[in-house]
Amino acid sequence: MEAAPADRAPLRLLGAALFAQAATSLVGGAVFFDPYVKPADIAASMGRVADNIGGVYAGVLLQLATAVVIIILGVLLYQAAGHINRTAALIALSFYIFEALLLSVSQIFVFALADVSRLYALGPGGALESAGGTLLICHDFAARMAIIPFGLGAIIFYYLLLKAGIIPRWLALWGLITVPFVLIGVPLTAFGARVPFALFVPYVPFEFFAGIFIFIKGMAKGKAFEV
């Protein structure tokens, strides 16, 4: 059963937010930061960051935009499925806000790394290189730790969506079953654990696909939003 026309607008906004959150995060990291940085060679990494400082700043802005969209997404998910269990939905929303804060903190380290790299390009020094390495470590740690509140919040929200019938059962189960691998695996990598990327693959396309599906198809049954 598709959503009534009056229900489609907020539901499409939810789909757009889900897709935008995934897209800005991917572009901000994979395009404007990751190609320049190799933790094993901090000196070369700082040189590349200094040479591409405009792109790095663009990546910071995109990641900060991601943080804003994460909060918007959390609010929309709360509105969509909060009527099933408002306490659980509020806890999940709090986790999303915490995730956004950790992501923002990680970008402060990137901004500082860009400035240190610019100084390093003007006159290389051991102290600057050490500072750059420390900032990169802090960025990676904050970014990976942000996955913990994300995963916890996502599990709650996906369960509530499943119970509410806002989206097809198979789509909610896809997220509910695969996100725990990300929740556990990514933080472990921050402590040096070797986690096969294959464990993350089932979840990687979920937010893109779910965002597009919700935007185009609407819900499976029930009302889109209960306020």
The total domain count for the chain is 1
CA separation (Å) from 196 to 6, 163, 186?
44, 32, 10
Give this prediction's pTM. Answer: 0.90
Residue 20 lies in a domain: yes
- Identify whether the C-beta of residue 107 lies closer than 8 Å to the C-beta of residue 140: no
Would residue 226 count as lying in a domain?
no
Residue listed under structure tokens 């598709």: 2
138 in a domain, yes or no?
yes
DSSP state of 217: H
Q: With the C-alpha atoms ordered 28, 172, 73, 178, is the resulting torsion angle positive or negative?
A: negative
Cβ atoms of 49 and 146 closer than 8 Å:
no
Domain membership of residue 21 (yes or no) is yes
Structural domain contains residue 191: yes
Residues with Cβ within 8 Å of residue 179, at least 6 apart in sequence: 151, 154, 155, 158, 203, 206
CB-based contacts of 26: which residues, under 8 Å, 6+ apart? Answer: none
Select from 138, 134, 135 the least CA-distant residue to 146: 138
Q: For every one of its 227 residues, what pLDDT tens digit does the chain have, with 9 covering 90 and above?
A: 344 443 567 788 999 999 999 999 999 999 999 999 998 899 999 999 999 999 999 999 999 999 999 999 999 999 999 999 999 999 999 999 999 999 999 999 999 999 999 999 998 888 999 999 999 999 999 999 999 999 999 999 999 999 998 889 999 999 999 999 999 999 999 999 999 999 999 999 999 999 999 998 755 444 444 43
In a domain, 225, yes or no: no
Asked whether residue 223 is assigned to any structural domain, the reply reads no
Asked whether residue 64 is domain-assigned, the answer is yes
